[in-house]
Amino acid sequence: MGQDDSTERDEQGAMHRTRCAISEVIARLKVMGVHQMAPDRTGKVRPVDLDPRQRRELLVYVAELEDLVGVLESFQQDLARNIELANRGLNAVSVYHRNGATLNKNARKH
């Protein structure tokens, strides 16, 4: 197992923790906006007073946050795809150079 495997595992773990944290924040904001409930300092869920304007703004904010999470996930997939393509390109260049050096080395012997 190499450093690349370890790095990839660490990155996947970080992404998973980020998704879990964002999902929990969105869920709590939805509860607060839709049901007007929020946890207090002791962790018990209590009613909160939101006027209609505040409630509307909160629900709009949650919808925008969910859209942004989708954009970030799409960006993550695009970035991973681009990194994979770049790695393939680098590997191809490396093989090309190695083969060229081998051909030059063997051509000089004959």
Q: pLDDT, tens digit, for every residue of 42-90?
A: 888 888 887 888 888 888 888 888 888 888 888 888 888 888 888 888 8
Give this prediction's pTM.
0.52
Looking at the structure of the chain, the number of domains it has is: 1
Q: For 28-46, what is the mean pLDDT?
A: 79
E-assigned strand segments in 2-41: 37-39
Question: In degrees to the nearest 10, what's the CA dihedral of 80, 83, 85, 90?
Answer: -160
Closest by CA position to 19, among listed 78, 72, 60, 55: 72
Domain limits for position 96: 3-109
Is the Cα torsion angle 92, 97, 101, 107 positive or negative in sign?
positive
**What pLDDT, on a 0 to 100 scale, did the predictor assign at position 7?**
77
Instruction: Please name the residues in contact with 39: beta carbons below 8 A apart, sequence gap of 6 or more.
Output: 28, 45, 46
- At 51, give phi and psi (nearest 5°): -75, 165
Q: Is residue 45 within 8 Å of residue 38, measured between CB atoms? A: yes
